[in-house]
Structure 1
Amino acid sequence: MRDWRMLNSKKVLVIVPAYNEEESLERTVDELVSVVPDIDYLVVNDGSKDATEQICLDRGYNHVTLPVNSGLTVGFQTGMKYALRNGYDYALQFDADGQHCPEYMSKMLDLAIAEDADIVIGSRFVNKCKEVSARMLGSRIITVAIKLTTGKRVADPTSGMRMFNRKMIERFANDDSLNPEPESISYLIKKGAKVREVQVEMRERQAGESYLNIPKSIAYMARACISILFVQWFR
């Protein structure tokens, strides 16, 4: 595996938002540092009620703990503010549930540098078709909505594995209206952000349960589409 610091002069921070991830966090972080031993990371413990905080303390993980559960947006922004303060050139959003594979990080960084991309998305669907399911139907609809409003196609708008350059770090750290969701990606594309995608494989959640059950998934997709198609016209 590449040595990030020797092969380029870019500082990369992996942001790992975590809420009640005691069953998967240790496996996720240990794999991350095993694959890329010299990578910098920050676990953002979002007011977890389980043993997430204790695991971070026991294992000596670099982490911050929010006093109460504040949601993904606040957790992600906390990581971006940390990246900004500490002079990172790139920040990678990386799930704590074990779905993301750190092997693809170097490919994402290479593309970000080569094409001067503002955002690089780890996409499941650059070279593959979306499976037939209610969740993937929602993803297809969001892809169409982004295409209609920006003229750009984002194959995997709901991917949670995204790399951001310094300019995007500054924007997310300083703009409370932005969030790590498809509607913000669409908005940033409209404002001129250069977005690229890299084909990746993702695993099923390794432990615990997703907060997105079927009703919440439907509400999530509906909210994203309404924001992309209508609300953003007024921003």
Structure 2
Amino acid sequence: MASMPATTRTLVIIPAWNEEAALPETIREIMVSVPDCDVLVVDDGSTDGTRQSALAAQVDVLTLPFNLGVGGAMRAGFKYAYWGDYDAVIQVDADGQHDPKDIRRVLAGLEHSDISIGARFADRGSYEVRGPRKWAMQFLAGVISRLAGTKLTDVTSGFRAGNRKAIRQYLDHYPAEYLGDTIDSLVVAIRSGCSVTQVPVEMRPRQAGVPSHNPFKSTIYLARSGLALLLALTRKRTSLPISESKA
């Protein structure tokens, strides 16, 4: 059974693309909620003042030369965490939808699992989706719950944490495709021996900026999520090296 060290070094990774309006408040709330954690903003090729906002907040910043998407940004963040010798990481979205007050709750799930998901549909909060997105999420949750051997209700949540084992696995396989950062990465991690749990969290409205989804995207969500799951199930299973040496 997975467990966290008594004293852990934790890195909060914030993937950010054109989030200069929401980012400063998100960072401020994180630093208030978990002052003992380090913060890394991965500026995913932003064309606005995202990088400057992060630097002004005095946190570490990785600037990607062009937009890679959440998967590419997180993969860069995991490499930073690995070479920085962190014990745990947690992803928090720049737009403020993930409540920093729930960070410790999600991290606590790592006491008995390798990956901890902050679940929006676990009898806490009022977050709700309808139509194709809801059907897709329910279908995905059912399939992946069977793979994981535990009930999961929100497998597309990006509010998730990982321990050293998960970080090492993500280095070998963390796809940048649409939904790859959630569905694909989770399926491969499970099939590679990582254990998963979920904890209930509350979602908030986006604090600023423009939502990434629109009605048209919602209508094709079901098909694309099914394809993402199919690709994940057909990917080659990976095995983690016995040694964690960085040499």
Under TM normalisation by the shorter chain, which class is it? Answer: 0.7 to 0.9
1:61 aligns with 2:59: yes
Mapped contact 2:34–2:104 kept (Cα < 8 A): no
Unaligned runs of 5+ in 1: 1-6
Change in Cα spacing, 1:151 to 1:224, as seen in structure 2 (3 Å) is farther
Cα displacement (A) at 1:130 = 7.2
CA distance in 2, matches of 1:176, 1:110: 23
Deviation at 1:204, TM superposition (A): 1.0
Distance change >3 Å, CA 133–CA 60, structure 1 → 2: same
Structure 1 counterpart of 2:114: 118
Q: CA deviation at 1:150?
A: 5.3
Count residues in correspondence: 227
What is the deviation of 1:217?
Answer: 3.4
Q: Does 66-75 or 217-226 show the bigger shift? A: 217-226
Q: Between 85-94 and 187-196, report the one with greater CA deviation.
A: 187-196
The equivalent residue for 2:130 is 133
Alignment of 1:32-47 (within 5 A): 32-47=30-45
Displacement after TM superposition at 1:234 (Å): 5.2
Note the 1:148-159 alignment, pairs <5 A.
152-159=150-157
8 Å Cα contact 1:138/1:218 also seen in 2: no
Deviations 1:176-234 (A, max 9, x none): 54742123212322333210011111101111112222332344442222232465145
1:209 corresponding residue in structure 2:
210
Q: How far does the alpha carbon of each residue in 1:106-160 deviate from its partner, in whole angstroms, 9 at most, with x for none? A: 22222312x1x11000112223597451233321122133246555432111111
Structure 1 segment 1-235 matched on structure 2, within 5 A:
8-113=6-111, 115=112, 117-127=113-123, 131=128, 133-134=130-131, 135-147=133-145, 152-177=150-175, 179-229=180-230, 232-233=233-234, 235=236
User: Cα 1:19–1:132, aligned 2, differ >3 Å: closer, same or farther?
Assistant: closer
Q: Deviations over 1:49-78 (max 9, x none)?
A: 111122123332211111111111110001
Question: If the length of structure 2 is used for normalisation, what is the TM-score?
Answer: 0.83
How far, CA to CA, are the matches of 1:63 and 1:45 in structure 2? 7
- How far did residue 95 of structure 1 move? 0.3
Give the distance between the partners of 1:35 and 1:148, measured in 2 at CA.
34
The runs of at least 4 aligned residues of structure 1 exceeding 6 Å deviation read none
Superimposed CA distance per residue, residues 159-183 of structure 1 (whole angstroms, 9 cap, x where no aligned partner): 1100011011111123354742123
Larger displacement relative to structure 2 (211-220 or 181-190): 211-220
SS at match of 1:68: coil
3-state SS in 1 of match to 2:95: coil
TM superposition score normalised by structure 1: 0.87
What percentage of residue pairs aligned between the two structures are identical? 37
Q: CA deviation at 1:88?
A: 0.5
Answer yes or no: is the 8 Å Cα contact 1:121–1:197 preserved in 2: yes
User: For residues 197 and 121 of structure 1, what CA distance do their matches in structure 2 show?
Assistant: 4
Structure 1 residues 102 and 186: CA distance shift in structure 2, 3 A: same
Gaps of 5+ in 2: 237-247
- Root-mean-square deviation (Å): 2.3
Question: How far apart, CA to CA, are the structure 2 residues paired with 1:210 and 1:202?
Answer: 14
